[in-house]
Every structure is written in structure tokens, then in C-alpha cells.
Amino acid sequence: MSVPQPPEPIPGARLLFSLDPAVSHLNHGSFGAVPIGVQRAQQRLRDEMESNPLRFFTQGLVDRIAHTRRHLATFLGADPEGTALVGNTTTGVAVVLQSLGLRPGDEILSTDHEYGAVTLSIQRECRRTGAESRVAAIPLAATDAEIVDAVRAALRPGRTRLLVVDQLTSATARLFPVAAIVGVAREHGVPVLVDAAHVPGMLSATVASVGADFWVGNLHKWGYAPRGTAALVVAPQWRDRIEPLVVSWEQEAGFPARLEWQATLDYTSWLAAPAGLFTLRSLGVDRVRAHNAALAAYAQRVVGDALGVAPARLPDPGGPEVAMRIIPLPRGLATTIEAARELQQRIAERLAAEVAVMSWNGEGWLRLCGQVYNSPDEYERLAVRLPPLLAQR
């Protein structure tokens, strides 16, 4: 089987970012990268804020946030009146969990692909309320139909108060058939929270097409927004029940304003987020998506070959737009979270390459991302230098 060809670079895209050129930044999925133009837009907003803080916070800021929310919701294909801006996906998850009114005997169902911080949030809410957390195991190579069947089998109508499922998993870079999962859960009367942390900007699927009760995704990863920008979308029947983690002066305004207004929060990241979408549109949304997915596929194959991984053992992400891929590491490496973090740091220090190293189900995995500022030679260089490093156990 031939190695997939890397995509043609998008001219000038690398120059839009202020990333250190001495480092290969191959892990866009963790914290993203903010284009220079977006950084400057946010700085202008900060300058405005600091020139007269009282005027900035008291004269029209709520309306400016609402205008920004409508802009971002339209891009996501979501109802602007059912969308609230929050700091990140895990914040949105925490808001939903504490708004459910869980009691002893209730349960929250998630999968073993769930992001670690979300799992911790579920466990904390269960400890606080006496509810139970259950996890459905989904094999990495499961087909869409098998994923749906596994979720169906794990649901317990009458007890399962919430199903939490990733649209695109973080640790395993796997696209889940969330619309079908939502349909199955609805048949059993179970509301669904979709963790879409990596979706905005990367995938073309709209929020409306998913149909979940709750959907939350970051715009500061693949949407080029400043960090601390995410959207929580809530179905109409749940909006009156959504409460902020901290009460502030817009509490009586209802959802979404009561969730967004957090007094002296730095709102400049939200207000500058449309500049990120402008950058994405300027490059061409479809063009960026196709480039990044093709580059990630090339990276997976080149590095996988260097590590001696047969093409058949390279996990398929489950969709053509996914711009993250994982590669199994040699047996015995990164089998715990601590070991994965240590190896990731060692790769960064010795190879000048920022990657993600994951520990999932007792095995170590290397996750690589494709982004417009990356070039094929960065992955080729990693492929040459990584095997000797891994051999130094």
C-alpha cells in the first residue's frame, strides 16, 4: 500500500502565526495557535478596556457579547438564542452537570474515550449528588454501527439521566456517529451531552444536524480564536434550567446572558473570536479542512512506517475531515498518564517537536495533528529521529 501524498501547502499560511520556527508544532489539538492578526485584534480590545475600564464594562458590553455570540453561532449552525459563550468545553460540561439536579439512584453514562478532565467532572458531580458514573467500552476499531449498538446496550432507561459522548475523541482521534447516537438515546428518553471540543473549524457538521440536548465545543483550537472561547448550545426545553457556576448581575436575564456575564472576566478573547473565523474564511474553510486532514493522514503513515507499524494497524479516524491521527507506540511505552507526559516532554526537549503522547486503555499512543503552518518535512524529520529516542528506554 503506497504512502498517501502530502497536500500542497497553502501559500503564506505559515506566516500568519508567531510560532517558534525552531520547533515543530505538531500538536495543534491541545491548545491551538492564534494567528497574528487575531492576537492584534485582541490586543486592541485590551487596550480599549484598559484605557477606560468603567466605560468598557458598563456601556454596551453585554450587547457586544451577544452580537459576537450570534456571529459564532451562525458559523456553527446553531441557534443563537440557545448558544452561550463559555471559557472552554470542560466549563460547559460542568455547567450542564450541575444543572441536572442529579440524585442518588441516577447515573451518567459516558464512554472510555472521554477526555480525562470531563471524566473527573462527572466523577465529582456524582460524589456530590450520590449519582453513579458508568462507562461503556468502545473498541478502537469499532464500526459506526457497532458504536451505536454498544451505546444502546449500555443505556438504562429510567436511571440514565445523561449520556456524555464525544463527537471527535481527544485521546483516540476517533469520529463518533453522534447524530445516530442521539437518535438512539432519544428513543430511550435519555438526554445527550456532546463533547465537541475539536469540532468547530475542523469538521463541517453543524450543531443542528447533531440534534443533541447539549453540545459544547472550543473555538480556540481549530477555529483560530483566542484561548478561552467556547460555545455551549442548549436545546429549548433545557434552557431555563441552565445555571451558571457563579451568579453575577445578569442572573435575572436568563439564558444565555446569565451564563456569559461573569463580572470582571476578560471578555476580549470572545470579542476577538470573529477575527479567527475571518482568518479561516480568508484561507478558505474547505481548503483548510482538506489540507489539514490530508497532512495528518500523511503524518500518520510516515511516522507509523518509521516505527514499524503495519498500515493495517494504523487506526482509521472514521471520517475524511479529521485532522488528528494516532499511532501505536512500542509495547511498554506510555502505559500510564505519568509515563505519557514524561515521554512527551522528552520528545519536546530532545527533538524540538511538540506532539501529544496519550495513554489509553493501558497502551501508549502518539497523536499528530495537521495544520496550515505545518509542512511534510516536519513529520519526515520526526520519523527519522523518533525511533532512536524511543529505543533509549
Mean pLDDT, range 349-367, rounded to an integer = 97
Model pTM score? 0.96
For the stretch 310-334, pLDDT in tens is 999 999 999 999 999 999 999 999 9
CA distance 339 to 334: 5
**For 226, what's the count of Cα atoms within 13 Å in the CB-facing half-sphere?**
21
Mean confidence (pLDDT) of the chain:
97
CA distance 319 to 232: 24
263 CB neighbour count, 10 Å cutoff = 10
CA distance 123 to 39: 36
For the stretch 117-142, pLDDT in tens is 999 999 999 999 999 999 999 999 99
Provide the pairing of β-strand 353-354 with 356-360: unpaired
Q: List all residues 6 or more positions away from 128 whose beta carbon is below 8 Å from its beta carbon.
A: none
pLDDT at 3 over 90: no
pLDDT at 268 over 90: yes
CA distance 163 to 203: 22
For the stretch 283-306, pLDDT in tens is 999 999 999 999 999 999 999 999
134-143, 164-173, 242-251, 351-360: segment of lowest average pLDDT: 242-251
CA distance 35 to 20: 13
33 CB neighbour count, 10 Å cutoff = 19
What is the SS3 assignment for 382?
helix
What is the SS3 assignment for 163?
strand
Mean pLDDT, range 214-219, rounded to an integer = 98
Return the pLDDT at 222: 98
For the stretch 164-185, pLDDT in tens is 999 999 999 999 999 999 999 9
pLDDT at 393 over 80: no
pLDDT at 1 over 80: no
Return the pLDDT at 263: 84
pLDDT at 194 over 60: yes
CA distance 373 to 352: 16
pLDDT at 2 over 70: no
Domains of the chain: 14-31+284-391 (3.90.1150.170), 38-278 (3.40.640.10)
Whether residue 163 contacts residue 111, with contact meaning beta carbons closer than 8 Å, is answered with no
Provide the pairing of β-strand 107-111 with 160-166: parallel
For the stretch 18-48, pLDDT in tens is 999 999 999 999 999 999 999 999 999 999 9
**For 216, what's the count of Cα atoms within 13 Å in the CB-facing half-sphere?**
25
Return the pLDDT at 198: 98
For the stretch 68-108, pLDDT in tens is 999 999 999 999 999 999 999 999 999 999 999 999 999 99
Amino acid in the structure at residue 96? V
Return the pLDDT at 4: 80
63 CB neighbour count, 10 Å cutoff = 9
